[in-house]
Structure 1
């Protein structure tokens, strides 16, 4: 709630930020005259990839910083670090779903985008990216507590992660064995799956495997919960 209504224009920025990112990329690709990527219009291809990635990034940041930002709540014995992480993740996930829906609705109204062929598959891809962000955010929260210098490194890797996840570069254009290495990244599978949900004719990267991505999400969340349990006292009293 504080994040949404903490200042007069907080909720406006939550909406403007993803729209600005998408428009900036669309302008760049329009300037270099790329109208279709993988058989899908460039605006739709970029919007889907960017919004799935921002769902991941924002949720990760909220979970990672949630313990420090809500330390006063730990005065109540029934509140524990995982509770804070999950509540913040839920708020961020719902916010990004609403924002993404508005972006796609505006794009469809203006003729830049189309409605998804399978809304369920698109939602599944967003949820998958969200689950990965929860697990990785909990892991990063503990790692940053143990080694504060890692905060800068984590922030630094977000831009390369966006590139290798296929947000701005079609993975199908990358030749083996390099594309096989990139597909170890579960976020890449979520982004490609979301694009397929919008356009079944999209030329997705070979090797797309949502089962693998779900396995990664489960492992990340399980590892994060184990770390929260192991370092619970330090997280609460730091």
Structure 2
């Protein structure tokens, strides 16, 4: 008996289209979720104030500009260069980036528990959305302040875009690393948020914002070197002052610490994120 011919597979109708692989569907869903979360951040950040999101930029710009003017009046002669405003800005802005990034990211799960209840939204979507939103905001703040100081004052500096970008990336990386691991710790141990607030208060003085790392005693340098923010500030000042060598700056150290914190934080969130969402 002759074998019956195999049935012909019917060609897919153009109207039906081809089914996308599951990972592609998930990728598109994540992109939509991240986009929606970014828009939500823009709407909720100073959303009740006139001007809305513009205040997220205007508030830090105004605050930093005011502090710069005040300190410029009190400290006429900076440790390097001739203009205290640009000296202070090159130290405080990297520090501000770190504080803003780490603070916002650390509350990603705590502030998005209602949204994380939906299967389409994951904790990674919340982390990525807050990272992108705050990165854009901080870049705008830095651009406005640096441009304003350079245009309105005689700073006698030579800004190098590549070095500034590297310093900004270092600040972002360290802020994200601390934010991700604190995202777990804040949700798992509520008292840690208060403890962290106390621990970070001396950072303003220990990050070489008002003084130069090179001017510190050797004993102090040995300990300050392990503060990643010292390297971030040093890299930013190297990018503005051509005569400043800053050979202690190690971007590799900053990125190594940052990536280690990110890896540990994400591993903990993957393991415990469902417990944290339901707590």
Structure-1-length-normalised TM-score: 0.90
Q: Which residues of structure 1 form unaligned runs of 5+?
A: none
Higher RCO (CA 8 Å, separation ≥ 6 residues):
1
Residue 214 (structure 1) aligns with: 255
Q: Say which of 123, 136, 143 aligns to 2:185.
A: 143
Write the mapping of 1:13-32 to structure 2, written as runs, cut at 5 A: 14-32=57-75
Residue 12 (structure 1) aligns with: 55
- Alignment length, in residue pairs? 236
- Return the offset for 1:82: 2.3
Q: Which residues of structure 2 form unaligned runs of 5+?
A: 1-41
Instruction: Name the structure where helix makes up a greater proportion of residues.
Output: 1
Please tell me whether the aligned partners of residues 62 and 85 of structure 1 are also in contact (alpha carbons under 8 angstroms).
no
Residue 113 (structure 2) aligns with: 71
Query: How far apart in 2 are the matches of 1:13 and 1:104?
Result: 17
Query: How far apart in 2 are the matches of 1:201 and 1:230?
Result: 49
1:99-155: per-residue Cα shift (whole Å, max 9, x none)?
Answer: 110111111221154675311211111111111111111111211222211111212
Write the mapping of 1:1-238 to structure 2, written as runs, cut at 5 A: 1-4=42-45, 6-7=47-48, 8-10=50-52, 11-12=54-55, 14-33=57-76, 35-39=77-81, 41-113=83-155, 116-202=158-244, 204=246, 206-238=247-279
Cα 1:152–1:211 shift into 2, 3 Å: same
- Return the offset for 1:46: 0.6
Query: How far apart in 2 are the matches of 1:39 and 1:203?
Result: 13
Cα 1:113–1:78 shift into 2, 3 Å: farther
Query: How far apart in 2 are the matches of 1:197 and 1:230?
Result: 41
- Return the offset for 1:187: 1.6
1:48-104: per-residue Cα shift (whole Å, max 9, x none)?
Answer: 211111111011111011111111211221322122112101110111101110111
- Over alpha carbons, which structure has the higher Rg? 2
Please tell me whether the aligned partners of residues 26 and 42 of structure 1 are also in contact (alpha carbons under 8 angstroms).
no
Look up the SS of the partner of 1:67 in the other structure.
coil
* TM-align CA RMSD: 2.1
Look up the SS of the partner of 2:110 in the other structure.
helix
Look up the SS of the partner of 1:202 in the other structure.
coil
